[in-house]
């Protein structure tokens, strides 16, 4: 039976105070409070700075064992790749996440590539080398460029036992369509919102300022059911983090799925 968990992308947002976090809650207690309401969390800070084993060990200790983590790859692995150092970066990254893996708290590593990472021979070769360097690690790949959405890529991911992230984004030229393709035993769904007018802007907070309606999320229930039937582990994350909207939508989707009686197991908080 598939293990399905729903959470948010990130948790350390000051604008969640008053909407999710109590006003009296100290910032250092955000993570523990989050873990009282959710059983999975996507960590984003690792993209901006290389995590350390001690840092991730401490985060795991602050939360109950029911909470697992998906963690984003560092930008030096996906956005600012240096041909002379990337292999060392990957080794350092894998060392850092080892405490999560050892304690069975690692759901997946997210390789999120930018729109500029187009479907070229050079980029395909790099992705192949990267996935081989991370062999044995539960990896999910997110493409932001529509050129990667083809059967050749899907087959290559299956061969390398890497998942393809299913995404919900605005329907804009060049962005990938939302396709329910399963390429490994582990899959992620990421909701980024549908804020078309601000998607290409430099202000990320405005890009992810979007609240899904119940009707919009209801349309995903049957799709989740399909993915659940094909994988062993499914993690769903909401990245529309502005003003706590990710929390509200994660709880909304949880309710909709529970009401639909999807055949999946989830740990009790």
- The answer to whether residue 265 is domain-embedded is no
- The answer to whether residue 56 is domain-embedded is yes
- The answer to whether residue 107 is domain-embedded is yes
Q: Which tokens in the block code for residue 151?
A: 């059967």
Q: What's the whole-number average pLDDT of the chain? A: 95
Q: Which residue range(s) make up the domain with 177? A: 3-260
- Rounded CA Rg of the chain: 18
Strand 186-191 and strand 163-164: the pairing is unpaired
pLDDT of residue 9 exceeding 50: yes
Residue range 95-149, pLDDT digits in tens: 999 999 999 999 999 999 999 999 999 999 999 999 999 999 999 999 999 999 9
Give the domain CATH number at 210.
3.20.20.410
Q: What is the pLDDT of residue 261?
A: 72
Nearest C-alpha neighbor of 195 from the set 180, 213, 185, 208 = 208
pLDDT of residue 5 exceeding 60: yes
Nearest C-alpha neighbor of 3 from the set 36, 31, 40, 32 = 40
DSSP 219-258: HHHHHHHHHHTT-SEEEEEE---GGGHHHHHHHHHHHHHH
Entry pTM? 0.94
Tell me which DSSP letter residue 102 carries: H
Residue range 29-74, pLDDT digits in tens: 999 999 999 999 999 999 999 999 999 999 999 998 999 999 999 9
- The answer to whether residue 177 is domain-embedded is yes
Nearest C-alpha neighbor of 144 from the set 187, 177, 120, 191 = 177
228, 263 in Cβ contact below 8 A? yes
- The answer to whether residue 162 is domain-embedded is yes
- The answer to whether residue 95 is domain-embedded is yes
Which phi and psi (to 5°) does residue 93 adopt? -65, -45
Q: Between the CA of residue 39 and those of 94, 193, 225, 254, what are the distances in Å?
A: 23, 22, 19, 12
Q: What is the pLDDT of residue 176?
A: 96
Tell me which DSSP letter residue 17 carries: B
- The answer to whether residue 268 is domain-embedded is no
- The answer to whether residue 251 is domain-embedded is yes
Q: Which residues of 6-42 are buried (b: 16+ CB within 10 A; e: fewer)?
A: bbbbbbebeebeeebbeeeeeeeebbebbbeebbbbb
Tell me how many domains the chain contains.
Answer: 1
């Amino acid at each position: 039976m598939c293990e399905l968990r729903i959470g948010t992308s990130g948790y350390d947002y000051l604008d969640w105070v008053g909407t999710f976090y109590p006003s009296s809650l100290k910032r250092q207690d955000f993570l523990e409070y989050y873990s009282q309401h959710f059983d999975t969390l996507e960590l984003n800070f690792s993209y901006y700075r290389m995590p350390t084993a001690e840092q991730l060990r401490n985060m795991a200790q602050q939360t109950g064992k029911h909470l697992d983590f998906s963690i984003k790859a560092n930008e030096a692995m996906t956005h600012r790749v240096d041909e002379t150092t990337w292999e060392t970066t990957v080794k350092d990254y894998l060392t850092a996440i080892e405490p999560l893996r050892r304690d069975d708290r690692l759901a997946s590593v997210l390789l999120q590539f930018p729109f500029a990472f187009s479907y070229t021979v050079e980029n395909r070769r790099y992705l192949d080398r990267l996935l081989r360097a991370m062999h044995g690690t539960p990896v999910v790949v997110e493409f932001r460029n529509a050129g990667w959405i083809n059967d050749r890529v899907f087959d290559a991911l299956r061969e390398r036992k890497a998942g393809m992230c299913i995404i919900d984004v605005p329907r804009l030229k060049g962005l990938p369509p939302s396709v329910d393709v399963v390429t490994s035993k582990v899959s992620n769904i990421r909701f980024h919102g549908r804020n078309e007018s601000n998607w290409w802007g430099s202000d990320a907070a405005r890009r992810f300022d979007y609240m899904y309606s119940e009707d919009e999320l209801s349309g995903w229930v049957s799709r989740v059911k399909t993915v659940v039937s094909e994988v062993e582990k499914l993690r769903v994350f909401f990245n529309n983090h502005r003003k706590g909207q990710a929390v509200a939508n994660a709880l909304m989707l949880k309710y909709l799925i529970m009401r639909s009686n999807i055949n999946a197991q989830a740990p009790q908080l």
